Amino acid sequence: MNWEYYHQLRPDQLEAMIKEKPVAFWPLGLIEHHGWHLPIGFDGLKAEKLCIRIAEKTGGVILPTMWWGALGGHSEFKWTHYQNPTTCADILTTTVAQLISFGFRIIVLMAGHYPWQSILEQQLESLKSAYPHIDFWGGTEISICESEVKIDGDHAGKEETSYGLAMFPEFVDLSALRDGRDQTVWPKNLAPPLEDQHHRVVYDPNNPMFAQMGEPANLATTDHGNRSLQKVVNYLADQIRHQLSENTTTL
């Protein structure tokens, strides 16, 4: 199926895409520490690769990944960039309104970073009532199919690492999960005070599972990742294809 990156298309190509497949996917990522074995852009990479898997079955365009997000339990970690949530929400709603005014009818907001969920929940409600003729899908890989598909999530642990192994193994290095690191891993060489530590995140730099939340990453497998992701891909692709066929009959 034909899908394209939005920013690589020319205006005539975009008009043709809108006529045939008015579907826009927007991967919502974030930059933050994802353990020693995963890239700091893990959430955006995960969201984008998942959008590609779906778009391969439905067609449509994929917007440039939104790398700037907000909220989460890793604000004290080096390499984490959290922005103002209101700023992120503004960019989200402004861009979605523009896409709709240009003719997109199906909007998929695929968040890789789980705290995007609360921003999406707040904004989607008003977007849905402002644009009742638009089909919206919004959430993380674990929530976007609502109760129809159940898969697990974590932070840089068994689940996310399995997704990484399944979708971009070239950026994953399990051998980096080793002990022997010290407090110099922190900005200012100092761990955050206990009261600022998220109770489910590993803060000990000497622990190979540093920064993770959930089951340990060394239990991850490519097969496990693919099995879970396939459920999301199949379900969403079916739904989008169904909506596209209804759009064609009502246009």
> By the criterion CB under 5 A, which residues form the site for Zn ion?
43
The closest residue (CB) to Zn ion is 43
Q: How far is the CB of 143 from Zn ion (least distance, A)?
A: 14
Q: How far is the CB of 158 from Zn ion (least distance, A)?
A: 13
Tell me whether residue 28 or residue 149 sits nearer to Zn ion (CB atom). 28
Tell me whether residue 43 or residue 135 sits nearer to Zn ion (CB atom). 43
Backbone angles phi, psi at 136, to 5 degrees: -110, 140
Residue whose structure tokens are 């051998």: 175
- The interaxial angle of helices 42-58 and 158-167, nearest 10 deg, is 50
Looking at the DSSP bridge assignments, the partners of residue 61 are 4, 24
Instruction: Map residue 181 onto helix, strand or coil.
Output: coil
Tell me whether residue 134 or residue 174 sits nearer to Zn ion (CB atom). 174
Q: How far is the CB of 131 from Zn ion (least distance, A)?
A: 29
> How many angstroms separate the Cα of 223 from the Cα of each of 129, 168, 174, 229?
40, 13, 16, 10
Q: How far is the CB of 114 from Zn ion (least distance, A)?
A: 7
Buried b (16+ CB within 10 A) or exposed e, 5-42: ebeeeeeeebeebbeebbbbbbbbbbbbbbbbbbbbbb
Tokens representing residue 101 in the block: 């005014």
Q: How far is the CB of 30 from Zn ion (least distance, A)?
A: 8
Q: How far is the CB of 31 from Zn ion (least distance, A)?
A: 11
Tell me whether residue 43 or residue 76 sits nearer to Zn ion (CB atom). 43
Tell me whether residue 22 or residue 115 sits nearer to Zn ion (CB atom). 115
User: Which spans in 63-115 are helix H?
Assistant: 85-102
Tell me whether residue 43 or residue 48 sits nearer to Zn ion (CB atom). 43
- If residue 136 lies in a helix (H) or strand (E), which one and from where to where? strand 135-140
